[in-house]
């Protein structure tokens, strides 16, 4: 609402400006608010398209519609369309007319129906299309299908189609007029299925099945009209967003359109199954599955895509007035009326529908094509089984059926749920690929190509993103993304020149990298794998052409990609490579920020570059320079947060920034400042976690903040306060690990907390510290076996060993202990320190030693002298 | 002068004088008359003859308003009400037409709209438009009044400005916006 007025205001100013001036004005006025900018631009575009829209008063339009018959040069009785002589007009509407006609030279006087399409601006295109497609349609030869006999264009250029003339009633009317029982309706419907299945086998999809297209002749035979004609006449049908006022459905009732159809996606045989499901629903219940309160297309689309239809056995209890949403008519559907033309009594009808038929109808009408019957034949077979009292395939929707709703309801079991869903969908994909490789039909292959792509993207974006922040979802995420990657990789090889697909693929690689080892999200600890994935993504992006419609997005993604590579090589402590990648990202973002100074996304991304460079400098032992970069980042972020105080990303990024500032202040020797800054960060983190209690990342970061504050207090010799903070952090981290036990990040977090807490206990002379620290050592060693060559894992072990040695040393110093025990502790202290030294040396030899660790081994070696002398004293 | 005419004239004056209830009584009367007229014209064969919505409203106006006792403001009010009524009539007409297409009746082979090529811009789905207009109404009442007067009432920019006591430039600006918004909404 507020937005409406803002958009209107900008629109009205912008409409008077042109070209450059308009662009400049909008960029400034929207101040980087891309949603607002897009809304205004969309309406400006609509304004151009809508030039003549509603300029002609409504009354005149209605007038034209009614009088069209008189003014247009329409064929009249006795005139010819092609070789056919018109007998009379059967029907007409805004888009043309249908005539009863007879072939002029036909001695059998076979009657035909001719559809003449009016108002087609692209008749040439239609004509060409006719030639290629008509053949396929004309080859459909089935007793229940009205045959397409011929086609062409009239003298004034309007395309026409010639088909069998069918005298009959629409199937719903036929059933009601003849008071067919449920069983009889099912038998008749199965005949319809047979015809549709035949067409599907011939690779023709109807696309517009509804009672009006299924006639029943006087002898009770169904005849299907208009097979595949929707596509023939409107090839744009597939792949375009449905526009119900101007599009294929026109002003007709969209009751029978499938979700994929109203979304404008490409159609498969499954769409026909859906439409048949709706027809059966109506035949069995007399009700329609959806009530559209509005004729606004997107409202209708939303209902079709989201609303679950009521079960047939319960919908019959409803009393509905004006069920088709039309005023001026007073049709009422009641249980009595519905049962009168069916089973006689409502209770009988209810029993008849409950169970199998509920399940069968709703299975055919499922929102996701892959969850419907696999074929019309299977649908018909299930009806047969029901009629013969055999068990049916159709069941109520299972738990995995509605993934998103399921995830919302049941967070704990989510990983398992996704795996179930995956295995189901995976099966479908395999089938699709087999079909693809068999290279059935080009059109069909394309269709499937798109299906697979859509599915892979659903894995990657919809499902993955929904479960990403849930604890315990790491293995499920890995499986999801791997699968998606597999399919996209195959697809990308097939369609090398498709840049959108290449970008999707790059995004897929990025996500795989995240799951393998992005340190800021739950990951599997495969740092090398992550780096390889990020680099692969980067290669794909670098190869993309620079001029594209999505240039800004592509540049933003490219910069992000450089960052990820930088992140990984930073963990590896390759500081030069890190700086190089971060600088690449910085260059892109500085350029974008100069071009679009008001784009918040661009500004925020630029602040990321500054803080990233700060991180490298901090790692490189240059805290002063690091603080300068962090300060730049802070100067950029704080105004963004002031603009959007509830923006979680801004809130989080500032809290993290404070952590880093605190650490580097400490490096510079400002202990009090560091502690104060760290406390500020903790307050921000806790507030955020409180606002997002389900977000594992937010919880993890609070534990992180507690631990960091503990560290600074510890360095400041405030052991009591340090221990308190360590303990809180440990408790939080253990809880998090429990929810996601394979998450290495969580394991490492717990190890660090055990270590800190245990060491501080030992400092206070508490032997419990030894056991706690041992847990830390065990976990850290375990992590190293997974990543034997990673600098960070090695460093973790080296640090842990030397501190564990110190823990032994601290306890060995307790004079109240027996001498033998103290000596044994000193032995352990020496042993762990020596192990640590060995690792530091190995790291130096491998060239993976961080700069601030350069002297660590020497320091440790020097510290050992004290242990030796203490031991000498004790031995005496 | 018929009793209806007297009645309507009085109601219009009352409404103009601030009596809100007068409008409720006024609307059904205007609707009745417009509906009767519209029905007559919509059904009639009128080769080469185009009736303007404004002409229709004028005709209704002349029929049911006592000219001598209304001032200019009453007339503006009347156009406002009439346009609203025209909207109802035409949308209802479109709705019943939708129904006729779906239901079988005598037409066995209906010319299926699914076969239709993309429609020309002038073919507006009145029902969808009406629904979108309701959404607009809730956010921006003046907008919907302008659409009613222009599109359903058939008034020109100048006439609309007169009825709403706005400047023609303002009406034009608002009209552009409303068109774009509705077009976008329906296409969405």
**Joined tokens for residue A400:** 């995995």
pLDDT of residue B45 exceeding 80, the answer is no
Helix (H, G, I), strand (E, B) or coil at A100: strand
**Joined tokens for residue A208:** 């517009």
pLDDT of residue A237 exceeding 60, the answer is no
pLDDT tens-place string over residues A244-263: 322 333 333 477 888 887 77
Q: What is the pLDDT of residue A108?
A: 61
Domain count, chain B: 1
Question: Would you place residue B121 in the very low, low, confident or very high pLDDT band (cuts 50, 70, 90)?
Answer: very low
Q: What is the pLDDT of residue A449?
A: 59
Segment A557-577 shows an average pLDDT of: 87
Question: Would you place residue A403 in the very low, low, confident or very high pLDDT band (cuts 50, 70, 90)?
Answer: very low
pLDDT of residue A315 exceeding 50, the answer is yes
From B85's Cα to the closest Cα of chain A, the distance in A is 12
Give all strands of the β-sheet with A169-170 in edge-to-edge order: A169-170, A214-216, A222-224
Which residue of chain A has the CA closest to B87?
A58
Distance CA A137, CA B172 (A): 51
pLDDT of residue A16 exceeding 50, the answer is yes
Helix (H, G, I), strand (E, B) or coil at A377: helix
Please tell me which residue, A12 or A227, carries the higher pLDDT value. Answer: A12
Segment A825-847 shows an average pLDDT of: 91
Q: What is the pLDDT of residue A421?
A: 43
Interface test with A, best of B56, B116, B129, B132 (most A CBs within 10 A): B116
Give the catalytic positions of A in this structure. Answer: 208
Q: Evaluate whether residue B38 is within a structural domain.
A: yes
Which residue of chain B has the CA closest to A209?
B114
The total of other beta-carbon atoms located within 10 Å of residue A223's CB is 22
Phi-psi region of B176 (alpha: psi -120 to 50; beta: other; left: phi over 0): alpha
Reported ipTM: 0.71
Could you say which DSSP state residue B120 is in? Answer: P
The CATH code for residues A168-397 is: 1.10.510.10
Q: Chain B within 8 Å of A597 (Cβ-Cβ)?
A: no
**Joined tokens for residue A740:** 């996601």
Q: Chain A within 8 Å of B135 (Cβ-Cβ)?
A: yes
Percentage of residues of chain A with pLDDT beyond 70:
75
**Joined tokens for residue A266:** 């490409």
pLDDT of residue B54 exceeding 60, the answer is no
Q: What is the DSSP string of A389-413?
A: TPPPS--S--GGGSHHHHHHH-STT
pLDDT tens-place string over residues A659-693: 889 988 988 888 899 999 999 999 999 998 888 88
Q: What is the pLDDT of residue A302?
A: 76
Give chain B positions within 8 Å (CB) of A234. Answer: 114-118
Question: Would you place residue A203 in the very low, low, confident or very high pLDDT band (cuts 50, 70, 90)?
Answer: confident
Give chain B positions within 8 Å (CB) of A91. Answer: 107-111
Whether A555 and A588 have beta carbons less than 8 Å apart is answered as yes
What are the backbone angles phi and psi of residue A282, rounded to the nearest 5°?
-70, -40
Please tell me which residue, A57 or A641, carries the higher pLDDT value. Answer: A641
Segment A489-516 shows an average pLDDT of: 73
Of B48, B109, B153, the CB nearest to A113: B109
pLDDT of residue A628 exceeding 80, the answer is yes
Q: What is the mean pLDDT of chain A?
A: 78
Enumerate long-range contacts of A867-872, CB under 8 Å, 24 or more apart.
Answer: A867/A809, A867/A812, A867/A826, A867/A829, A867/A830, A867/A833, A868/A830, A870/A812, A870/A813, A870/A826, A871/A823, A871/A826, A871/A827
Which one, of A245, A171, A159, A174, lies nearest residue A209 by Cα? Answer: A171
**CATH 3.40.50.10880: does it fit domain A73-165?**
no
Which one, of A92, A658, A740, A766, lies nearest residue A470 by Cα? Answer: A740
Q: Chain A within 8 Å of B128 (Cβ-Cβ)?
A: yes
Interface test with B, best of A7, A253, A255, A296 (most B CBs within 10 A): A296
Segment A728-753 shows an average pLDDT of: 87
Q: What is the pLDDT of residue A554?
A: 85
Give chain B positions within 8 Å (CB) of A248. Answer: 114, 116
Which one, of A13, A644, A116, A858, lies nearest residue B115 by Cα? Answer: A116
Contact B183 A44 (CB under 8 A): no
The total of other beta-carbon atoms located within 10 Å of residue A475's CB is 16
Q: Evaluate whether residue B112 is within a structural domain.
A: no
Q: What is the pLDDT of residue B57?
A: 66
Residue with tokens 């010319």: B111
Q: Chain A within 8 Å of B37 (Cβ-Cβ)?
A: no
pLDDT tens-place string over residues B64-118: 665 555 555 666 777 777 777 777 777 766 665 444 333 222 222 222 222 222 2
Domain ranges of chain A: 2-49, 73-165, 168-397, 789-875
Contact A252 B113 (CB under 8 A): yes
What are the backbone angles phi and psi of residue A317, rounded to the nearest 5°?
-80, -10
Q: What is the pLDDT of residue A726?
A: 92
Helix-strand-coil percent breakdown of chain A, rounded to 5?
A: 65, 5, 30
Contact A297 B129 (CB under 8 A): no
Question: Would you place residue A774 in the very low, low, confident or very high pLDDT band (cuts 50, 70, 90)?
Answer: very high
pLDDT tens-place string over residues A787-806: 544 677 888 899 899 989 99
Question: Would you place residue A292 in the very low, low, confident or very high pLDDT band (cuts 50, 70, 90)?
Answer: confident
Question: Would you place residue A820 in the very low, low, confident or very high pLDDT band (cuts 50, 70, 90)?
Answer: very high
Please tell me which residue, A528 or A611, carries the higher pLDDT value. Answer: A611
The parent domain of residue B135 ranges over: 3-102+118-187
Distance CA A290, CA A292 (A): 6
Q: Evaluate whether residue B22 is within a structural domain.
A: yes
Q: What is the pLDDT of residue A46?
A: 85
Which one, of A640, A663, A655, lies nearest residue A689 by Cα? Answer: A655
pLDDT tens-place string over residues A453-463: 666 666 666 66
Distance CA A428, CA A407 (A): 22
Give chain B positions within 8 Å (CB) of A120. Answer: 117
Please tell me which residue, A437 or A661, carries the higher pLDDT value. Answer: A661
Helix (H, G, I), strand (E, B) or coil at A86: strand
Please tell me which residue, A212 or A581, carries the higher pLDDT value. Answer: A581
Which residue of chain B has the CA closest to A95?
B116
Q: Evaluate whether residue B111 is within a structural domain.
A: no
Segment A373-385 shows an average pLDDT of: 89
Q: Chain A within 8 Å of B56 (Cβ-Cβ)?
A: yes
pLDDT tens-place string over residues B161-184: 888 888 999 999 999 999 899 888
| Cα dihedral A107→A108→A109→A115 (10° resolution) | -110
Q: What is the pLDDT of residue A19?
A: 80
Q: Evaluate whether residue B141 is within a structural domain.
A: yes
Distance CA A234, CA A237 (A): 6
Please tell me which residue, A32 or B29, carries the higher pLDDT value. Answer: A32
Of B111, B120, B127, the CB nearest to A92: B111
Q: How far is CA A462 from CA A422, A459, A474, in A?
A: 13, 6, 16
pLDDT tens-place string over residues A275-284: 999 999 999 9
Distance CA A409, CA A68 (A): 56
Helix-strand-coil percent breakdown of chain B, rounded to 5?
A: 75, 0, 25
H runs (alpha helix) in A410-526: 414-437, 442-457, 464-467, 474-494, 499-517
pLDDT of residue A410 exceeding 50, the answer is no
Give chain A positions within 8 Å (CB) of B181. Answer: 8, 43, 46
Q: What is the pLDDT of residue A696?
A: 78
Q: What is the pLDDT of residue A661?
A: 93
pLDDT of residue B20 exceeding 50, the answer is yes
Which residue of chain A has the CA closest to B154?
A57
Distance CA A162, CA A168 (A): 18
Q: Evaluate whether residue B113 is within a structural domain.
A: no
Size of interface A-B (CB pairs under 8 A): 256
Please tell me which residue, A875 or A241, carries the higher pLDDT value. Answer: A875
Q: Evaluate whether residue B133 is within a structural domain.
A: yes
Q: What is the pLDDT of residue B43?
A: 52
Give chain B positions within 8 Å (CB) of A59. Answer: 38, 51-53, 56, 86, 90, 152, 154
Please tell me which residue, A791 or A405, carries the higher pLDDT value. Answer: A791
H runs (alpha helix) in chain B: 3-16, 20-43, 53-64, 72-102, 126-139, 141-147, 157-164, 168-187
Task: Work out whether the CA dihedral A30, A35, A38, A40 comes out positive or negative.
Answer: negative
Q: What is the pLDDT of residue B26?
A: 73
pLDDT of residue A238 exceeding 50, the answer is no
Q: Chain A within 8 Å of B110 (Cβ-Cβ)?
A: yes
């Amino acid at each position: 609402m507020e937005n409406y007025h803002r958009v209107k205001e900008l629109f009205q100013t912008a409409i008077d400006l042109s070209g450059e001036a308009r662009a400049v004005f909008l960029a400034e006025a929207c101040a980087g608010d891309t949603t607002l900018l897009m809304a205004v631009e969309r309406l400006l575009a609509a304004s151009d398209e809508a030039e003549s829209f509603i300029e002609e008063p409504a009354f005149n339009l209605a007038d034209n519609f009614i009088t069209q018959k008189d003014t247009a040069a329409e064929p009249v009785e006795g005139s010819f369309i092609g070789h056919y002589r018109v007998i009379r007009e059967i029907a007409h509407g805004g888009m043309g007319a249908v005539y009863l006609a007879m072939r002029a030279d036909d001695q059998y006087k076979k009657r035909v129906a001719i559809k003449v399409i009016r108002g087609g601006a692209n008749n040439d295109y239609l004509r060409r299309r006719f030639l290629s497609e008509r053949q396929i349609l004309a080859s459909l030869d089935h007793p229940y299908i009205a045959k397409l006999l011929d086609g062409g264009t009239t003298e004034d250029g309007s395309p026409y189609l010639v088909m069998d003339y069918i005298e009959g009633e629409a199937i719903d009317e036929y059933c009601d007029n003849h008071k067919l029982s449920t069983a009889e309706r099912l038998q008749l419907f199965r005949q319809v299925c047979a015809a549709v299945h035949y067409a599907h086998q011939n690779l023709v999809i109807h696309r517009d099945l509804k009672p009006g297209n299924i006639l029943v002749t006087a002898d009770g035979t169904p005849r299907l009209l208009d097979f595949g004609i929707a596509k023939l006449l409107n090839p744009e049908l597939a792949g375009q967003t449905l526009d119900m006022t101007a599009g294929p459905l026109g002003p007709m009732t969209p009751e029978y359109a499938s979700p994929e159809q109203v979304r404008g996606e490409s159609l498969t045989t499954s769409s026909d199954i859906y439409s048949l499901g709706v027809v059966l629903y109506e035949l069995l219940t007399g009700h329609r599955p959806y009530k559209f309160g509005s004729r606004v297309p997107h409202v209708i689309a939303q209902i079709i895509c989201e609303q679950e239809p009521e079960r047939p056995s319960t919908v019959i209890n409803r009393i509905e007035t004006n069920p088709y949403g039309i005023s001026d008519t007073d049709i009422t559907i009641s249980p009595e009326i519905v049962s009168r033309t069916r089973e006689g009594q409502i209770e009988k009808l209810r029993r008849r529908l409950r169970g199998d038929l509920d399940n069968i109808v709703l299975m055919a009408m499922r929102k996701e094509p892959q969850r419907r019957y696999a074929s019309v034949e299977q649908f018909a077979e299930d009806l047969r089984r029901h009629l013969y009292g055999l068990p049916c395939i159709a069941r109520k929707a299972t738990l995995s059926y509605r993934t998103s709703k399921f995830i919302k309801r049941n967070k704990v079991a989510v990983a398992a749920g996704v795996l179930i869903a995956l295995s189901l969908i995976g099966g479908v994909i395999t089938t699709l690929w087999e079909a693809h490789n068999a290279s059935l039909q080009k059109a069909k292959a394309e269709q499937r190509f798109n299906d697979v792509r859509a599915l892979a993207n659903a894995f990657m974006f919809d499902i993955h993103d929904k479960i990403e922040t849930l604890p315990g979802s790491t293995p499920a995420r890995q499986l999801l993304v791997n699968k998606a990657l597999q399919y996209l990789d195959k697809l990308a090889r097939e369609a090398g020149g498709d840049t959108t697909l290449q970008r999707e693929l790059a995004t897929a690689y990025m996500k795989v990298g995240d799951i393998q080892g992005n340190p800021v999200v739950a990951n599997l600890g495969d740092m090398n794998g992550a780096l390889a994935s990020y680099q692969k993504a980067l290669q794909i992006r670098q190869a993309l052409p620079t001029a594209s419609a999505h240039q800004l997005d592509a540049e933003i993604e490219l910069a992000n990609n450089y960052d990820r590579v930088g992140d990984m090589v930073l963990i590896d402590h390759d500081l030069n490579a890190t700086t190089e990648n971060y600088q690449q990202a910085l260059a892109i973002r500085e350029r974008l920020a100069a071009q679009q100074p008001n784009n918040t996304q661009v500004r925020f991304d630029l602040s990321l570059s500054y803080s990233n460079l700060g991180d490298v400098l901090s790692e490189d032992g240059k805290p002063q320079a690091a603080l300068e970069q962090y300060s730049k980042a802070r100067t950029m972020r704080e105004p963004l947060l002031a603009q959007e105080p509830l923006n979680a990303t801004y809130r989080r990024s500032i809290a993290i920034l404070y952590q880093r500032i605190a650490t580097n202040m400490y490096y510079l020797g400002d202990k009090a400042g560091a502690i104060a800054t760290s406390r500020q960060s903790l307050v921000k983190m806790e507030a955020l976690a409180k606002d997002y209690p389900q977000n594992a990342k937010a919880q993890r970061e609070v534990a992180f903040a507690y631990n960091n504050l503990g560290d600074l207090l510890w360095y400041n010799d405030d052991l009591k306060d340090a221990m308190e903070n360590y303990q809180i952090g440990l408790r939080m981290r253990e809880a998090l690990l429990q929810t996601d036990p394979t998450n290495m990040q969580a394991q490492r977090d717990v190890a660090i907390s055990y270590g800190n807490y245990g060491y501080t206990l030992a400092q206070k002379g508490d032997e419990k510290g030894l056991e706690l620290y041992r847990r830390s050592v065990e976990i850290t060693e375990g992590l190293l076996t997974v990543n034997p060559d990673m600098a960070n894992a090695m460093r973790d072990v080296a640090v842990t060993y030397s501190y564990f040695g110190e823990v032994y040393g601290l306890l060995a110093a307790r004079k109240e202990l027996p001498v033998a025990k103290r000596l044994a502790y000193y032995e352990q202290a020496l042993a762990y320190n020596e192990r640590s030294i060995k690792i530091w040396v190995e790291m130096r030899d491998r060239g993976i030693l961080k700069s601030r660790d350069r002297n660590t081994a020497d320091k440790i070696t020097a510290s050992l002298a004290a242990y030796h002398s203490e031991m000498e004293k004790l031995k005496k | 002068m018929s009793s209806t005419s007297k009645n309507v004239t009085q109601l219009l004056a009352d409404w103009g004088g601030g009596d809100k209830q007068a409008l409720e009584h006024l609307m059904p009367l205007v609707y009745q008359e417009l509906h009767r007229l519209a029905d007559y014209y919509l059904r009639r064969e009128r080769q080469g003859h185009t009736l303007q919505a404004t002409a229709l409203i004028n005709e209704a106006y002349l029929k049911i308003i006592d000219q001598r006792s209304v001032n200019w403001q009453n007339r503006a009010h009347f156009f406002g009400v009439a346009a609203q009524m025209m909207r109802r009539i035409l949308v209802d007409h479109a709705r019943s037409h939708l129904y006729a297409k779906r239901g079988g009746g005598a037409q066995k082979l209906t010319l299926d709209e699914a076969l239709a090529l993309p429609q020309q811009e002038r073919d507006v789905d009145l029902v969808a438009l009406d629904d979108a207009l309701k959404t607009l109404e809730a956010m921006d009442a003046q907008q919907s009044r302008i659409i009613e007067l222009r599109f359903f009432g058939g008034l020109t920019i100048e006439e609309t400005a007169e009825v709403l006591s706005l400047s023609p430039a303002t009406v034009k600006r608002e009209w552009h916006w409303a068109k774009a918004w509705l077009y976008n909404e329906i296409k969405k």
